[in-house]
Amino acid sequence: MIDLHTHSFFSDGDLIPSELVRRFEALGYAAVAITDHADSSNLDHLIPRIVQVAHDLNQYQSVKVIPGVELTHVPPKLMATFVKKARALGAKLVVVHGETIVEPVAPGTNRAGLEAGADILAHPGLISPEEVQLVAKKGVFLEISGRKGHSFSNGHVAALATRAGAKLVLDSDGHGPGDFMTEEFARKVAEGAGLPPGSLERLLSDARVLVERAGFTV
């Protein structure tokens, strides 16, 4: 199992990074990305600390820890600048907090994230067919979310991605232990999004592409 969207207490999660990782290791995960929420107020504070934690834990634990970030409610016109800055600070995986239907995310955020070259567009809500075509062209991954609320548009996202040939990734967007998915539950989330039986294996295979892009092997 792989989860590329999680939160520690560096943003709004419940756990320190080390406990978060240990929980995933106990569940048998091969890789986990720590992608705390960031904007201009905390980007330069957050990423170097996650990078250090990942460095420390990767020496001793079986689960690969990928230092990342979720750019959250960043004005669309600033998105490209923030993606570049996040990578310069050491983020190996950049997630953009997409236009979920349960938050007032600024219109244009989905497209800005795609054009800026983010790795994952998280919970992109009622993303348009034209934007999904851009997803496929840019090699960005759309998220199928295990997070309550954000998951309401999973069926829409999965259907458009399937038609356009866009890549999907299944993440918990976990903020605490109750959010972290077992393999059985992840399978139900994938099939609940309208994907055919057996899709979890394909989603995990695609997630490995992102892990390798970040410089890790699982």
In angstroms, rounded to a whole number, what is the distance separating the alpha carbons of residues 128 and 108? Answer: 11
Tokens of 102: 């349960």
65-113, pLDDT tens digit by residue?
999 999 999 999 999 999 999 999 999 999 999 999 999 999 999 999 9
159-212, pLDDT tens digit by residue?
999 999 999 999 999 999 999 999 999 999 999 999 999 999 999 999 999 999
Q: Sketch the domain layout of the chain as residue ranges.
A: 2-213
Q: Helix crossing, 154-164 with 129-138: angle to 10°?
A: 60
CATH 3.20.20.140 assigned to 2-213: yes
CB 150 within 8 A of CB 133: no
pTM (predicted TM-score): 0.97
